[in-house]
Amino acid sequence: MAKPSVIRRLAGLCMAAVAALALTMITTIPASAQSTAPQLTASALSVVNPGNQRFVEFDPVRLQITATGGAPAYTWSATGLSRWLGINASTGVISGIASAGIYTVTVTATDTAGSSSSATFTIQVPRECRTC
């Protein structure tokens, strides 16, 4: 027969092993149950199309163009504007004086990562008859 001190030691080791196993089972999360941290991804750069515009000849024009996503700050450019209109490269504001004509305008935003996006719209400025 085993001595009582040996039995107590074995019983103590057995209890410690059971406790360690129980603790391992409680704190171990199966891989299938683990959630991954949300991945933060920037949305793609997109210029918001302001829609077709109509202005009165010789009136001042101020049209804010905006963009979403990408890596701000944006650099702006435009093609197709009348000679009296321009775009501010830092703010995206088209401003100047409306001159008669129909202009197909394409505005482009470029972000700090080098991505770009464009939007195309029409500016209509009917000729004003001041002598009619």
> Are residues 15 and 55 both part of a single domain?
no
> Are residues 72 and 105 both part of a single domain?
yes
β-pairing verdict for 85-87 and 93-97:
antiparallel
Domain that holds residue 16: 4-29
In this structure, what token pair is assigned to residue 49? 């199309």
Does residue 58 sit within a domain? Answer: yes
Query: What is the rounded average pLDDT of the residues 38-42?
Result: 59
Does residue 35 sit within a domain? Answer: no
> Are residues 50 and 115 both part of a single domain?
yes
Query: Three-state secondary structure along 23-56?
Result: HHHHHCCCHHHCCCCCCCCCCCCEEECCCCEECC
Does residue 39 sit within a domain? Answer: no
Rounded distance between C-alpha atoms, residue 43 and residue 57, angstroms: 39
pLDDT tens across 57-112, in order?
999 999 999 999 999 999 999 999 999 999 999 999 999 999 999 999 999 999 99
The CA-atom distances, in angstroms, between 60 and each of 34, 37, 88, 122 are 60, 51, 15, 17
pTM: 0.68
In this structure, what token pair is assigned to residue 33? 């149950």
Domain count along the chain:
2
CATH number at residue 99: 2.60.40.10
Does residue 67 sit within a domain? Answer: yes
The CA-atom distances, in angstroms, between 59 and each of 84, 89, 100 are 11, 22, 11
Does residue 104 sit within a domain? Answer: yes
Does residue 22 sit within a domain? Answer: yes
> Are residues 65 and 8 both part of a single domain?
no
H-state helical runs in the chain: 4-27
Rounded distance between C-alpha atoms, residue 99 and residue 59, angstroms: 8
> Are residues 67 and 13 both part of a single domain?
no
> Are residues 24 and 50 both part of a single domain?
no
Residue 13's pLDDT is 47
Query: Which of the four pLDDT bands, split at 50, 70 and 90, describes residue 27?
Result: very low
Residue 18's pLDDT is 42
The values of phi and psi at residue 23, to 5°, are -65, -40
Which one is predicted more confidently, 108 or 20? 108
Does residue 112 sit within a domain? Answer: yes
pLDDT > 70 in the chain, percent: 67
Does residue 41 sit within a domain? Answer: no
